[in-house]
Amino acid sequence: MTVTREAPPGRTARTSSLVLTPAVVAHRGASGHRPEHTLEAYRTAIRMGVDDIELDLVSTRDGVLVARHDLELSTTTDVADRPDLAHLRRTLTVDGVAQRGWFVQDLTLAELKTLATRERMPGTRPGNTLYDGAEGVPTLTEVLAMVGAESARRGRAVGVLLELKHALHHDRIGLPLDVPLMRDLARHGLDHPWARVTLMSFETTILRRLAARTRLPVVQLLESAHRHPADLLAAGDTRTYGDLLTPDGLAWVDEYADGIGPHKSLVLPRDGAGAIGAPSTVVGDAHRRGLTVHVWTVRGENRFLPTNLRRGDAPDALGDMLAEVEALLAAGVDGVITDHPEAALAALRTVTGTALHRRTLTS
């Protein structure tokens, strides 16, 4: 079926591309199998059959958007082994957190392209280290070109969820993320209501700005309930992510967003022992306002799973992730963002019987 949302007062009706729900979204690509945010991580996920891939975007010194989760580069590239870049190492405070290292914003694209990527969690995912050094850091436009080629090759449209990282910080240093974002999307013919592109951020300001200039769907990401959106806090607004999940908060989010992206613990709360049980009301509350719900991040290793879904005592062994996905689907989520898309797809097949039974939505 097709669901069309009516716009709240003061907002133009927004129509986006048809998407499957519930959807399986590859978090930074199939990052349980390849180093995150590499073209091969994305291709692996697409080969597995995901509906969408998710990538994080930050800016180089010369204003090019690249796929990295962190501004700091030493955990996912070989920058620390590069004596020619040693002079760029410094301490930088982003959103109130000081970190020492090498930062994307200090390198031009040409300099960044000399780096090789590596696995973020080599102890947890030693198999991924076999691919260390095989690729460089991809730009947004390179990812979009690859997705277009893979979609054509496989005869199905693969969606892209784009998360804008540290948007306020980028604004302050003169590298606003929305400017190159809209330029790159237009270059690939993807800034239109039927494109399989979704825009996401933990910060509200950038999303409200984007909602005013594009009809692509917008998703407000939500961290733990007690934490604060960086942009609101900087503006003296003390609302937390938990406040955004109240009726008044969701009404405000609905003025600019088409969906929410809560941490999975907001949908499946854990008890004092770390186990999950009954879901919260988050999904139902969001759906009553016509907001979609994509949860993050589902990972297969025991250390990331609820205690009642772990198998054995080894923290890096794979536990019963299928059961966690099934519980999220039973709670009614519209999408699961995961490092292990093959397991999420298996859970989806178990729950729905076949992908053909999934609904199509227009936001």
228-252 residue pLDDT tens: 999 999 999 999 999 999 999 999 9
Place of tokens 């770390």: 274
pLDDT in tens, 95-139: 999 999 999 999 999 999 999 999 999 999 999 999 999 999 999
Report the C-alpha gap between 98 and 6 in whole angstroms.
Answer: 43
Helix (H, G, I), strand (E, B) or coil at 158: coil
For the chain, which residues make up each domain, given as ranges? Answer: 19-69+140-361
Structure confidence at residue 19 (pLDDT): 59
DSSP state of 218: E
pLDDT bucket at 9, cuts 50 / 70 / 90: very low
Neighbour count for residue 69 (Cβ, 10 Å): 19
Calculate the average pLDDT of the chain. 93
pLDDT bucket at 363, cuts 50 / 70 / 90: very low
pLDDT of residue 3 exceeding 50, the answer is no
Burial environment of residue 194 by CB neighbours within 10 A (0 to 12, 13 to 18, 19 or more): middle
Instruction: Give the helix/strand (H/E) hosting 278.
Output: none
Q: What CATH number should be reported for the domain whose range is 19-69+140-361?
A: 3.20.20.190
Q: Which amino acid is at 171?
A: D
Q: What is the pTM of this model?
A: 0.93
pLDDT bucket at 359, cuts 50 / 70 / 90: low
Question: Is the sign of the CA dihedral 190, 213, 337, 142 positive or negative?
Answer: positive
pLDDT of residue 13 exceeding 70, the answer is no
Q: Which residues pair with 103 in a beta bridge?
A: 72
Q: Which residues pair with 74 in a beta bridge?
A: none
Structure confidence at residue 116 (pLDDT): 98
Query: Up-side HSE of residue 208: CA atoms within 13 Å toward CB?
Result: 10
Structure confidence at residue 360 (pLDDT): 57
Report the C-alpha gap between 286 and 292 in whole angstroms.
Answer: 7
Residue 257 — φ and ψ, nearest 5°? -110, 160
Structure confidence at residue 208 (pLDDT): 98
